[in-house]
Structure 1
Amino acid sequence: MRVLVVGGSGFLGREVCRRAVGLGWSVVGTFHSGAIAVGGVAARRLDVTDRAAVRALVAEVRPDAVVGTPYRYGHWAVTADGAAHVAVAAAERNARLVHVSSDALHAGRPVPYADDEPPTPVHAYGAAKAAAETAVRAVDPGAAVVRTSLIVGEGSKQIQLCRDALAGRATLFSDELRCPIDVTDLADAVLELVASPYAGLLNVAGSDAVSRAELGRLVAERFGLDTAGLKTTTSAATGLVRPLDVRLDSTRAGGLLRTRLRGVREVLAG
């Protein structure tokens, strides 16, 4: 298996590269500004907003499969246009495509979201992720589109945000619920989908629904940090328009995949 990981320098992308190498696959990972630094991975610089460059790289690499993980918060051209460019290039080579999306395209509600529910974005990033999905599914109906949640693990932005809030340098929302997933679980699930014929949307998230504030307390317990300085607030108090209760129902993924999608409490318990 020869796989191209677009966004291989990102937190998830590096783990996908690492675990694909462990499977004995030939792996090419792309980066734009950060380093991949994973042994056995051929690293290539790529600007996903450059359609010609994306097509040229895919034509050169000739991958059996492409994993699309790139995004940049608040950057439509990377998140939406970039996903479309990757999908077109993969389709031209008849390569299997697994596109990684986000729960941020939902508005939030008291009932968990099923796999196939249409996007209801309430902010620009969610709209960009929804546009990316639309492009991918239009270009390649056979692609697997993974909707996931907050990605945790050593070195993740989510864990660092919790550490910052515990130190009084950031604030966590107590009214935003998510289903965090460990980066290794998500990477394994993505690679299972690379080797499968599954087509369409699939929720792949952790089994626990927690608020961002509760996640901060779980991080404190895991690393022996004091919660006295933990700063919390609500979206309503800030006046920001953000998705609130966004729980993904990953029942379908649980029955389809061998990878066990652990809850964040188990993950952080060590």
Structure 2
Amino acid sequence: MAKLLVTGASGFLGRALVAAASDDDVVTGLTSAVDVRDPDALRAAFARAAPEVVVHTAYVQSGPTAHAVNADGAGNVAAAARAAGARLVHVSTDAIFAGDGDRPLREEEPARPVTAYGATKAAAEPLVMAAHPDALMVRTSLIVGGPDHAPSPHEERAVAAARGELDLAFFTDEIRSPIAVDDLARALLDLAATDARGALHLGGPDAVSRLELARLVVVAAGLDPATLRGRPAPPDRPRFCPLDSSRALALLRVAPPRGVRELYASARGHRTC
């Protein structure tokens, strides 16, 4: 039995982590009711939960609080986890990279974010490691639900565009490593039980464009992929950002993440969003 604390527990990944925990685990989910920008509130919440493992997923995508939540808040969570004597898994992102190379990204690649969100997540990483030197930082990619799962925002936008409810073009040259949320949740909990520290990359095995991902989603939903429009990404977007996940995969004892082509192929024509 382990005492697990998940920040961002009401979010897409946070909910999957809570669901993936063992029946023998004692799980505490922190939502936005506990502000990660408030070190005192965090210390009090950690003292009540007395966690052995902390998985930090809480973030905001944009807005005036993004740096305070994503960067400073991550440092606060790391400090609280260390003070509690807890193992910390911090969830980071491939958005810290510019993606201007031509091969999958390894952990030692320097952070050069081109988006405001990526900049906040890049700023979080040294704060986390300074506050909790034994922390594990798992950089992942676009997170999707897949068939028979509540849809992610990526999937919702694709389906809405295919139905003509949203005027949106999908980037043809932004290449990522999407991963199913349940696969990611299981892998994060498995990696938490290792002694790995520092950065690890964990994405899905398929490197696909935003447009290809959207097409896979709408075909699985029984819709026409020809209704989707593609366009090149603007200069302020990352480009070739598939993750080299070989180090993480070598540590996993659970099944490796599925590729999105496999994930959606099994449900073509049967899923609705």
Q: Same fold (TM over 0.5)?
A: yes
* Structure-2 residue corresponding to 1:150: 142
From 210, 213, 231, give the equivalent of 1:212. 210
From 36, 44, 53, give the equivalent of 1:56. 44
> What are the within-5 Å matches in structure 2 for residues 153-168 of structure 1?
153=145, 154=149, 155-168=151-164
Q: Post-superposition shift, 1:134? A: 1.1
1:47 alignment partner, SS class: coil
* Structure-1 residue corresponding to 2:83: 92
From 230, 233, 243, give the equivalent of 1:232. 230
Counterpart of 1:193 in structure 2: which amino acid?
L
Q: Post-superposition shift, 1:171? A: 2.1
Q: Which runs of 5+ in 2 are unaligned?
A: 267-273
* Structure-2 residue corresponding to 1:193: 191
From 69, 94, 97, give the equivalent of 2:57. 69
- Give, in whole Å, the separation in 1 of the partners of 2:43 and 2:246: 36
- Give, in whole Å, the separation in 1 of the partners of 2:129 and 2:264: 35
2:8 matches 1:17 = no
Q: Which runs of 5+ in 1 are unaligned?
A: 33-44
1:262 alignment partner, SS class: coil
- Give, in whole Å, the separation in 2 of the partners of 1:136 and 1:269: 38
Q: Deviations over 1:82-125 (max 9, x none)?
A: 10110010011111000000000000121211023221111211
Count of residue pairs brought into register by the alignment? 254
* Structure-1 residue corresponding to 2:269: none
CA RMSD, 1 decimal: 1.2
- Give, in whole Å, the separation in 1 of the partners of 2:169 and 2:153: 14
Counterpart of 2:139 in structure 1: which amino acid?
R
2:225 alignment partner, SS class: coil
- Give, in whole Å, the separation in 1 of the partners of 2:92 and 2:13: 12
Q: Post-superposition shift, 1:173? A: 0.8
* Structure-1 residue corresponding to 2:4: 3
Q: Post-superposition shift, 1:261? A: 1.7
* Structure-1 residue corresponding to 2:261: 265
Q: Post-superposition shift, 1:167? A: 2.6
Q: Deviations over 1:184-228 (max 9, x none)?
A: 110001101222211111101000000000011111221110123
- Give, in whole Å, the separation in 2 of the partners of 1:82 and 1:114: 26
From 227, 241, 245, give the equivalent of 2:240. 245
CA contact (8 A) 2:191 2:251 kept: no
Q: Post-superposition shift, 1:78? A: 1.2
Q: Post-superposition shift, 1:23? A: 4.2
Provide the identity percentage: 48
Counterpart of 1:132 in structure 2: which amino acid?
A
